[in-house]
Amino acid sequence: MTERIATIKRDTRETTISVSINLDGHGVDEMRTGIRLFDHMLAQIARHGIMDISVSATGDDVHHLVEDIGISLGQAFNQALGNKKGLVRIADATVPMDESLATVVVDLGGRGYSVLNMDFENNDMSDFPADLLRHFLESFAAEGRLNLHAGVAYGTNDHHKAEAVFKALGRALDKATRIDPRIADKLPSTKEFVEG
């Protein structure tokens, strides 16, 4: 099997970002965004998605930084998927985190779209605006060319709700990116075409 790895570099007037991903890694994360809580959330994708992800980023503003990391990670993810032959493609995961429960469903069909049902109260987020997590997920889905549906069924602590979402995202991506040996030489689509 071809190595499913990619590196994206993004350098704008607002941010400087380097992202590397190995879809067939071991859950190794190396996050250096300068935002500890966001590093912690990104690490959940790598660890629970059992993929290696490295992010090095600096920027003029937390909003620009989070958005551009979402763009870059999405582009790297889509590039690493390669020709998409044999992909399981569609997967879901439901994850608890203490009092919170989150579900993520993904379809790696080449169409970037997100539906996010996550209510945050802006508590226990270490001065990180919780809505930026929504913005990150939207940017990641658009540039990763995947459908991403995420919902928090219940919970009271925003950190727990967010962490459950990011763990569920990692687990869903792990399942969706697996190669099914029964269709290893086929695209997972009745159209015999997957965009992206």
- CATH code of the domain containing 79: 3.30.230.40
User: What is the per-residue pLDDT for 188?
Assistant: 75
Give the residue carrying structure tokens 């499913």. Answer: 4
Q: Which pLDDT belongs to residue 2? A: 84
Contact status, residue 101 vs residue 152, Cβ threshold 8 Å: yes
Query: Which pLDDT score, from 0 to 100, does residue 96 have?
Result: 98
In a domain? residue 98: yes
pLDDT at 66: 97
Q: How many domains does the chain have?
A: 1
Pairing, β 5-11 against β 29-32: unpaired
Look up residue 166 and give its two tokens.
């990011």
188 within domain boundaries: no
pLDDT tens for each residue of the chain, 196 residues long: 689 999 999 999 999 999 999 999 999 999 999 999 999 999 999 999 999 999 999 999 999 999 999 999 999 999 999 999 999 999 999 999 999 999 999 999 999 999 999 999 988 898 899 999 999 999 999 999 999 999 999 999 999 999 999 999 999 999 999 999 998 888 877 666 667 5
Per-residue pLDDT, 74: 98
What domain range is 95 assigned to?
5-183
Q: Is 194 a domain residue?
A: no
Residue 193: inside a domain, yes or no? no
User: Alpha helix locations (H) across 28-176?
Assistant: 36-49, 62-80, 131-144, 158-176
Residue 191 inside a domain? The answer is no
